[in-house]
Amino acid sequence: MINKLVIANLMHRPIRSLLGIVAIGVVVCMMLTLVGLSRGMLQGAAERAGGVGADVVLRPPGTSLLSLSSAPLNQRMTEFLVTQEGVRLAVGQVVFPIGGIDTITGIPYKEFSELSGGFTFRSGGPMQSPDDILVDEYYARQRKIKIGDTLTLINHEWKVSGIIASGKLARLVVSMDRLQELTGNEGKISQVFLRTEPGTDIQALIARLKEKLPGYPIYSMEEVVSFFSVENVPGLDAFINVIIGISALVGFLVVFLSMYTAVLERTREIGILKSLGASPTLILRIILRESVLLSLCGAAAGIALSFATRWIIQTLVPASLTQVLVPDWWAIGAVVALVGALLGTLYPAWRAASQDPIEALSYE
């Protein structure tokens, strides 16, 4: 019966209830989308790195896996590395930032193909000239690029010769020589991929290399892939926490307003319940139950909405953004909504519970 009353109350003001649910839904969705994006982008990066087919990566001194350095390494490094015991292939690479989080990657095509087993072409094929460019399918879809199109990047016109399957190395791939020229990095590279001889102990190899090349960050590919996680991106954790805080605050305000007006509007009804012998605790329980229901519906709406944002991102900007579903965060989202809602209900509920029945009954 109490539940019936709670539901009847919510149904009695469908627009307000709906608005409350949508507002909570939007903040929960915002949370899930953000976490999903952070994870999705990192997973995408990890996947592309893993797809290269290398066992070990060597980076310039003083850099981390996530820093976008242009090309501080001497290209001769590859020649040195390939002479080391256990190393079969050493392939350099130039990564150049082109604004935002986009980068363009230059590779020696033949050596890279040997390392990675080559690109999978969705259409077109390998570069025919140094001014050809390969773009991955998401980038092509997002920018509506076809084979033979011209792309202007770094003040240079590139001709699209192939559209490659996503998940290997990068979204934009050009000839390393041409990229070095264009960016004034002749003879310089950003990092080196190593492929080991079968049966090589990778950790031992890394230890040996570190001894010879002190100060150079050297990682196994496994490390690289596992490095792409939320905890390892400076500030991302804090950023997500801020978003959670804002979500809880908005949930609090929405529910506070909604329940505050509901309690005012129902002053008389609360007086009636009290005249029938409803204790303050019972009134409190009714109001709390209503806001719990409101926030749980809001959380469910938020989860549903996060599927929608994922679909929209996948359809509109698949190359720039990747959102994954984060079911492990659904409960967190619901709890944040719930905590915000309960805090927002405390004062209105207390007001309702402590109303004098006679005064409440004479309220118009």
Partner 1 sequence: MSSEPIIEVSDLRKIYRAGDVDVYALRGVDLTVQRGDFLTVIGPSGSGKSTLFHILGGLMKPTSGIVKIAGQDIMRLSDAQRTNLRKVTVGFVFQKYNLLPILSAEENITIARTIAGLPQRPPAEFKRVLEVLGISHRMHHKPRALSGGEQQRVAIARALVNQPEILLADEPTGNLDTENSAIVLKLLRQLNEEFRQTVLMITHNPEAASFGHRTVTMRDGRISESLD
Q: In this complex, which beta carbon is closest to partner 1, that of residue 9 or of residue 38?
A: 9
The CB-of-17 to partner 1 minimum distance in angstroms stands at 12
Q: In this complex, which beta carbon is closest to partner 1, that of residue 150 or of residue 354?
A: 354
Q: Which of 151, 208, 361, 363 binds partner 1 (CB under 8 A)?
A: 361
Distance separating alpha carbons of residues 99 and 91, to the nearest angstrom: 25
Distance separating alpha carbons of residues 126 and 141, to the nearest angstrom: 19
The CB-of-346 to partner 1 minimum distance in angstroms stands at 21
At residue 123, the 3 state secondary structure works out as strand
Q: Which of 15, 211, 215, 276 binds partner 1 (CB under 8 A)?
A: 276
Whether 341 contacts 255, CB under 8 Å: yes
Distance separating alpha carbons of residues 210 and 263, to the nearest angstrom: 69
Instruction: From 40-48, 164-172, 302-310, 356-364, give the range in contact with partner 1 by CB under 8 A.
Output: 356-364
State the SS3 of 272-335: HHHHCCCCHHHHHHHHHHHHHHHHHHHHHHHHHHHHHHHHHHHHHCCCCCCCCCCHHHHHHHHH
The CB-of-273 to partner 1 minimum distance in angstroms stands at 7
Instruction: Give me the residue label for tokens 């990564």.
Output: 95
Cα(first)–Cα(last) distance of the chain, in Å? 26
Instruction: From 151-159, 251-259, 275-283, 293-301, give the range in contact with partner 1 by CB under 8 A.
Output: 275-283
**Cα–Cα distances in Å, from 51 out to 116, 141, 145, 183, 319?**
7, 21, 23, 26, 17
Q: In this complex, which beta carbon is closest to partner 1, that of residue 20 or of residue 162?
A: 20
- Binding status of residue 272 toward partner 1 by CB under 8 A: yes
The CB-of-269 to partner 1 minimum distance in angstroms stands at 6
- Binding status of residue 279 toward partner 1 by CB under 8 A: yes
- Binding status of residue 277 toward partner 1 by CB under 8 A: yes
Q: Which residues bind partner 1 (CB under 8 A)?
A: 1-2, 4-5, 8-9, 11-12, 268-269, 271-279, 282, 357-358, 361
